[in-house]
Amino acid sequence: MTQSVKLGTALWLPTLVLICGLCSAAQSTGSAVSKGQFAETIERIRTEKNPTVRANNAGYLAEFTRSIDPKKVDDATLREIVSLLNTDDDGVRMWVAAALGNLGPRARIAVPTLLSLLRKVDCLEGDLTSAGAIRLALSRIGETPPPERKCVPGYPPQNFTGYPPSVYMQFFQACSSDKPCTRTGNFRVDPVPKGCCILTVSDGNGPGEDEVRSFEVFLNGKSVASSDHSPNAQATVAVQTSNRINVILTGEPSSKVLVLIAYDPRQSK
């Protein structure tokens, strides 16, 4: 699947691309999600001090809601998910909004909170904010989102949170066999922002679960990160307009890595 990010266009475009990429990964798992998994993930989002791990778990929550029958999410769990929007971490808010959107009309109780939050985040500066995910969630729930606000220059900037502005984000899951397998993704960045980019690989779900046995990431034919150096790798990479990413994995079928390519907005001005 090819992902395309057009920086400087409507804020919902890159968010939609990333959410669709996550939904695709969720569909490939085909596994049932237990109430216990929901509770554990929600608790990690609420209590985890590491912002990257916290946002990572919010991404898993969106994955869970994409692969479950919305009717099986009880009212108490739904209220817990909605309460996660009460955070200043916009990366978490983006994925929680995606999770609620995945539940469709079942998440209608979230509409007042989403609308209230949208008024707050609509004018945040940055190429990727939660505003697009919130609008998409409202549409999927069955509520027509309001038009984008006309923002006054100098509105308070977005906090630099666990997920900085991203040009690519994708889960890669290991194969069902013990042999290494290669997962591939394609994405475009137009234009490439100044100071781009940092590639980060997060193994498993953060607290030592669902980790692969080994991984190696290639960007445009060059090896940029591997588990030989660190289970959670990070590297400075050169991103082009058209890009191809290959991830070689070994591990159990449920194991996975999250590849995030992002940039520091403070250097892109």
Q: Is 32 exposed, middle or buried (0-12, 13-18, 19+ CB in 10 A)?
A: exposed
Query: What pLDDT, on the 0 to 100 scale, is given for residue 105?
Result: 94
pLDDT at 188 > cutoff 70: yes
pLDDT at 68 > cutoff 50: yes
3-state secondary structure (DSSP) of residue 203: strand
Query: What pLDDT, on the 0 to 100 scale, is given for residue 34?
Result: 66
Of the pLDDT bands very low, low, confident and very high (cuts 50, 70, 90), residue 222 is very high
Section 195-204 average pLDDT = 81
Q: What are the residue boundaries of the structural domains of the chain, listed by start? A: 11-141, 166-267
Average pLDDT, the chain: 77
Query: Which residue from 266, 256, 86, 81 is spatially nearest to 164, judged by alpha carbons?
Result: 266
Query: Which residue from 82, 107, 165, 97 is spatially nearest to 130, judged by alpha carbons?
Result: 97
3-state secondary structure (DSSP) of residue 141: helix
Query: What pLDDT, on the 0 to 100 scale, is given for residue 125?
Result: 62
Query: What pLDDT, on the 0 to 100 scale, is given for residue 110?
Result: 96
Of the pLDDT bands very low, low, confident and very high (cuts 50, 70, 90), residue 192 is confident
Query: What pLDDT, on the 0 to 100 scale, is given for residue 242?
Result: 92
Query: Which residue from 154, 136, 231, 171 is spatially nearest to 23, judged by alpha carbons?
Result: 171
* Span 207-216, pLDDT tens digits: 556 788 899 9
Section 158-163 average pLDDT = 42
Section 88-100 average pLDDT = 89
pLDDT at 91 > cutoff 90: no
Q: Are strands 181-190 and 222-226 parallel, antiparallel or unpaired?
A: unpaired
Q: Which of 5-14, 105-114, 254-263 has the lowest mean pLDDT?
A: 5-14
Two structure tokens written together for 92: 């978490």
* Span 143-160, pLDDT tens digits: 988 887 776 555 444 443
* Span 246-255, pLDDT tens digits: 999 998 888 8
pLDDT at 53 > cutoff 90: no
Query: What pLDDT, on the 0 to 100 scale, is given for residue 143?
Result: 92
Are the CB atoms for 126 and 6 separated by under 8 Å?
no
Q: Which CATH fold would you assign to the domain 166-267?
A: Jelly Rolls (2.60.120)
Query: What pLDDT, on the 0 to 100 scale, is given for residue 113?
Result: 95
* Span 106-132, pLDDT tens digits: 999 999 999 999 988 887 765 567 888
pTM of the model: 0.56
Query: What pLDDT, on the 0 to 100 scale, is given for residue 114?
Result: 95
Query: What pLDDT, on the 0 to 100 scale, is given for residue 52?
Result: 76
